[in-house]
């Protein structure tokens, strides 16, 4: 088993983290490893709750920053162990978790152990179950059970964002929209009532839906309403009596979760609507003033598929979920300690919760 070695570069540490499989629900081994390396850092008070880990400096600084990332991934897809690939002269680390989000976890882990005299107190968090139902989310569990561990003046989630800073967090809702009909043999289809055909207006509505771009506290949040799945059908010779369209709604913090549910019920009111997952209230970003006190933009550029920042320091952009992370380094790969960047071109996923 590959033990974590913090003396290597962030890139190689990313690779070590990725090569420990940690699909949601199976995070114990990676949590054990992180727990072990944190135990060697005398400047950190370390706490564990299930497979969520919290490490805090207690230097009496005037301010505290919380830096967090999830250690689970979506299911493996023939992409572990990771490998390096060179495409058009650029080196990529390829495989599950390289982007979302073990590169961020690696940077945080290395900094947590190496920075024993940070200018602000820092709370480092690595947590489980981000990629699944909100009810299982390790960060939510910590917030409910030990909120004092997460207290701070400013918080950063190390999710992939093309190396730009994204403020705030969209809310996340999933719903199942159902249509019903009547089964019959397809040789006597006029006797039946086709539930899949009845789903056409749902898809028409989604295809025509114009998602909002909403400004909240100086940040532009880009919403999204999409079908993410569809099921229906009984057999190749049966008129189906049920069809379900799985819909995902990412909504700006100008809407409460109740208002988001109401919006979905209003849109699909003529159908059977079941809300199957609903994140807690979407997160407003910090105030523009507190943002300025913690970071200064060096290259705040809107990504191509966003509305762009409303002020130079406030890009709220869309996160990619690609499976590679580009590594910027000089060869040979073992001897460098260069920065990580994730400017790969795919970017089709809504911002906010992964």
- CB of 53 or CB of 101, closer to Zn ion: 101
Catalytic choice (27, 72, 121, 128): 72
Window contacting Zn ion (CB under 5 A); options: 58-66, 86-94, 97-105, 294-302 = 97-105
- CB of 128 or CB of 159, closer to Zn ion: 159
Minimum distance of Zn ion from residue 342's CB (angstroms) = 12
CA gyration radius for the chain?
23
- CB of 100 or CB of 223, closer to Zn ion: 100
- CB of 160 or CB of 240, closer to Zn ion: 160
Bridge partners of 230, per DSSP, are 245
Q: For residues 207 and 75, what is the distance between their CA atoms, to the nearest angstrom?
A: 28
Q: How many CB atoms lie within 10 A of CB 103?
A: 27
Tell which positions 273-332 bind Zn ion, by CB under 5 A.
none
- Indicate whether 100 belongs to the interface with Zn ion (CB under 5 A): yes
- Indicate whether 354 belongs to the interface with Zn ion (CB under 5 A): yes
Give every CB contact of residue 35 below 8 A, 6+ residues apart in sequence.
46, 48, 53
Window contacting Zn ion (CB under 5 A); options: 8-16, 151-159, 212-220, 265-273 = 151-159
What's the Cα-to-Cα distance from 57 to each of 64, 118, 152, 215, 253, rounded to whole Å? 9, 8, 12, 35, 31
Minimum distance of Zn ion from residue 155's CB (angstroms) = 15
Q: Is 88 a catalytic residue?
A: no
Minimum distance of Zn ion from residue 204's CB (angstroms) = 32
- Indicate whether 99 belongs to the interface with Zn ion (CB under 5 A): no
- CB of 33 or CB of 100, closer to Zn ion: 100
- CB of 140 or CB of 218, closer to Zn ion: 140
- Indicate whether 350 belongs to the interface with Zn ion (CB under 5 A): no
- CB of 98 or CB of 286, closer to Zn ion: 98
Using DSSP bridges, classify how beta strands 64-70 and 121-127 pair: parallel, antiparallel or unpaired: parallel
- Indicate whether 166 belongs to the interface with Zn ion (CB under 5 A): no
CB neighbour class for 190 (10 Å; exposed up to 12, middle 13-18, buried from 19): exposed
Q: For residues 334 and 16, what is the distance between their CA atoms, to the nearest angstrom?
A: 13
Q: Is 130 a catalytic residue?
A: yes
Window contacting Zn ion (CB under 5 A); options: 33-41, 95-103, 114-122, 138-146 = 95-103
Tokens of 36: 């072990």
Q: Report the residue from 11, 67, 101, 165 that binds Zn ion according to the rule CB under 5 A.
A: 101
Minimum distance of Zn ion from residue 158's CB (angstroms) = 9
Window contacting Zn ion (CB under 5 A); options: 96-104, 280-288, 294-302, 326-334 = 96-104
Number of chain positions touching Zn ion (CB under 5 A): 4
Q: What are phi and psi of 329, to 5 degrees?
A: -165, 165
User: Any idea which residues carry the catalytic annotation?
Assistant: 72, 130
Q: Which residues bind Zn ion (CB under 5 A)?
A: 100-101, 159, 354
């Amino acid at each position: 088993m590959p033990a974590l070695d913090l003396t290597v570069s962030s890139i190689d540490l990313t690779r070590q983290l990725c090569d420990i499989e940690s699909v949601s629900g199976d995070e114990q081994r990676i949590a054990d490893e992180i727990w072990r390396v944190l135990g060697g850092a005398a400047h950190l008070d370390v706490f564990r709750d299930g497979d969520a880990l919290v490490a805090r400096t207690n230097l009496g600084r005037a301010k505290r920053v919380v830096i967090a990332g999830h250690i689970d991934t979506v299911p493996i897809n023939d992409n572990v162990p990771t490998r390096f690939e060179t495409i058009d002269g650029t080196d990529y680390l390829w495989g599950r978790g390289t982007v979302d989000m073990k590169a961020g976890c690696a940077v945080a882990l290395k900094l947590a152990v190496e920075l024993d005299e940070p200018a602000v107190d820092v709370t480092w968090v690595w947590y489980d179950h981000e990629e699944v139902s909100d009810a299982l989310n390790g960060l939510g569990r910590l917030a409910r059970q030990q909120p004092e561990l997460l207290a701070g003046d400013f918080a950063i989630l190390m999710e992939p964002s093309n190396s730009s800073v994204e403020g705030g967090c969209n809310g996340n809702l999933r719903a199942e929209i159902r249509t019903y009909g009547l089964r019959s043999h397809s040789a006597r289809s006029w006797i039946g009532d086709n539930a899949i055909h009845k789903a056409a207006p749902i898809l028409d509505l989604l295809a025509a839906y114009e998602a909002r771009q909403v400004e909240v506290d100086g940040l532009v949040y880009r919403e999204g309403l999409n079908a993410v799945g569809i099921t229906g059908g009984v057999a190749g010779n049966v008129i189906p009596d049920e069809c379900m369209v799985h819909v995902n709604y990412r909504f700006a913090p100008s809407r409460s979760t109740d208002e988001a549910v109401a919006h979905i019920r209003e849109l699909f009111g003529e159908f059977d609507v079941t809300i199957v997952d609903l994140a807690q209230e979407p997160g407003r970003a910090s105030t523009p003033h507190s943002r300025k006190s913690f970071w200064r933009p060096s290259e705040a550029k809107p990504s191509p598929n966003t509305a762009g920042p409303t002020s130079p320091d406030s890009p709220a952009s869309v996160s990619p979920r690609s499976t590679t992370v580009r590594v910027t380094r000089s060869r040979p790969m073992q001897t460098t300690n260069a920065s990580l960047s994730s400017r790969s071109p795919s970017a089709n996923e809504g911002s906010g919760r992964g």
